[in-house]
Structure 1
Amino acid sequence: MTPAMGTFASILGTLAAGAATALQVAVGAFVIASLLGLGLAVLRVFSRNRLVQLGLAAYIEWMRNVPALAHLFLLYFGVATVGVRLSPLLAAVVGLGLVGAAVLCDVFAAGLKSLHVGQREAALAVGLTPGQTLRYVLVPQMFRATFPSLANYTTALIKDTSIASAIAAPEIMFYARNLVTSTFETTLIYLAAMLLYAAMVLPVAWGFKRVERTMEKAR
């Protein structure tokens, strides 16, 4: 092994710890985003309360039009001024999850609205409760309709974990910047970081496409 290859392998090994953290942030944020986004979408589609609709619209517009990094700064640095201290990892998970909830709210709401109103009426007519109608009739079909958008969001989320390094969350770019300042192997370090992100994103994208093709065959 040449010295350059040995150095590159050492860099990859160091950044691998950051990759594990990036995946933790992505998984945690995805759980928050999907669960909260679904709840908000249900309210947006079925609630007739004007205040609820105004609150949802304000939340979605704010979250989608303010940079995610600003939200992370607020959660990590801002709330500390009132005595609430979040770890960098938790602040990243919560911040990206709340931003993602606004994105998925729009996605899921569009999916629910695309379903024919007769399906809901038929389910209620045969005795299902509104909750059962959502769980067994509407939500499964909504997920089928929104699956490509959900896949795009997931792959983008994995890449967006890189901004967590700005609040000292020990993910890939955090380790990469530290290595650059100590070794000055800028090209090798950032190339290794790119390869690690690709190694995380590409299998996820491939998996989503595989599931999507399976669902299309099952129709």
Structure 2
Amino acid sequence: MAMISDLASFFATYEENWASWWPQLLPAIWVTIKLTAASFLLALAIGFLLALGKLSRNRLLRAFATGYVELARGIPALAILFILYFGLLPVGIVLDAFVAGFIGLGMSGGGYFAEVFRAGILAVHKGQREAAASVGMTPFTSFRWIILPQAMRVILPPMMNLFISLLKDTSLCSLITAPELMLRAKDLAMMSFLPMHLFVLAGALYFLLAWPMSLLARHFERRMRRGYRAG
């Protein structure tokens, strides 16, 4: 009975404070969504270019792309965020916390996206390229209309999972004062002296943002498996 009473008291706190918490959390959720979208698009662009670099016949491009991928995957995203936000100050470069956040996460995520793109492109049988060349297609045309559409079937599921990872990694941006969900939850926790309630609520809100993307990733995985079985 005591446990039930404690749980009831725990959830009653949300009812008492929701009217004051929600108006402050809602803008922070919107910042988190924008931060995720911006970093995802940047990581997508960086990853695609790096994948092309790793598949290039040019040794310098391959070496640069390989080195970038290894560094991006080996350096914590938080270290990149600190370098961009704090480390550039001595040389006179001052970045807004939001800008530093999405650039840092995009640079870090680009290394992972590169391997996803590379694996997807290599999964397309080389006979597809040979068939495209035999009918007079240029390498660029065959890549755009033959290789990439088939590679996307392999790329989409892990891409959705990386999107979810970026969403969760936006919480790191609270450490460089980006006004996203985790920073606002920390501020409210310090003002209300209710850290457990606020951090449980923040975790629940992150879950509600990530869950639809997780369902979408599973949907693409099932579609891909059906396509392979049909093949």
* TM over 0.5, shorter chain: yes
Q: Is the 8 A contact 1:72 1:92 kept in 2?
A: yes
**Residues 80-115 of structure 1 deviation map (CA, whole Å, 9 limit, x = unaligned):** 222222110011111111111110101111111121
User: Given the alignment of the two structures, is residue 126 of structure 1 paired with residue 126 of structure 2, yes or no?
Assistant: no
In the TM superposition, 1:103-118 aligns within 5 A as 103-118=112-127
Out of 135, 142, 165, the residue aligned to residue 156 of structure 1 is 165
Shift of residue 51 of structure 1? Answer: 2.0
**Residues 57-83 of structure 1 deviation map (CA, whole Å, 9 limit, x = unaligned):** 211111111110110111111122222
**Structure 1 counterpart of 2:77:** 68
Shift of residue 211 of structure 1? Answer: 4.5
Aligned length: 218
Q: Partners of 2:13 and 2:159 in 1: how far apart?
A: 43
Please say which structure displays the higher CA radius of gyration.
2
User: Given the alignment of the two structures, is residue 34 of structure 1 paired with residue 50 of structure 2, yes or no?
Assistant: no
Q: Which amino acid aligns with 1:43?
A: G
What is the alpha-carbon root mean square deviation over aligned residues? 1.9
**Structure 2 counterpart of 1:194:** 203
Q: Partners of 1:3 and 1:94 in 2: how far apart?
A: 38
**Structure 1 counterpart of 2:180:** 171
Summarize the Cα distance change of 1:3–1:102 in structure 2 as closer, same or farther, 3 Å threshold.
closer
Shift of residue 33 of structure 1? Answer: 0.9
Q: Partners of 1:119 and 1:50 in 2: how far apart?
A: 25
**Residues 114-134 of structure 1 deviation map (CA, whole Å, 9 limit, x = unaligned):** 211111111122122211111
Q: Which amino acid aligns with 1:7?
A: N
**Structure 1 counterpart of 2:152:** 143
**Residues 31-52 of structure 1 deviation map (CA, whole Å, 9 limit, x = unaligned):** 111122112112211x122222
Ranges in structure 1 where 5+ consecutive residues have no aligned partner? none
Q: Which moved more, 1:183-192 or 1:12-21?
A: 12-21
User: Given the alignment of the two structures, is residue 180 of structure 1 paired with residue 196 of structure 2, yes or no?
Assistant: no
Give me the TM-score of the superposition, normalised by structure 1: 0.92
Q: Partners of 1:3 and 1:55 in 2: how far apart?
A: 54
Give me the TM-score of the superposition, normalised by structure 2: 0.87
- Higher RCO (CA-CA < 8 Å; seq separation 6+): 1
Q: Partners of 1:150 and 1:144 in 2: how far apart?
A: 10
Q: Partners of 1:77 and 1:3 in 2: how far apart?
A: 38
Summarize the Cα distance change of 1:3–1:154 in structure 2 as closer, same or farther, 3 Å threshold.
closer
Q: Is the 8 A contact 2:69 2:112 kept in 1?
A: yes
Q: Is the 8 A contact 1:8 1:192 kept in 2?
A: no
Q: Which amino acid aligns with 1:203?
A: P
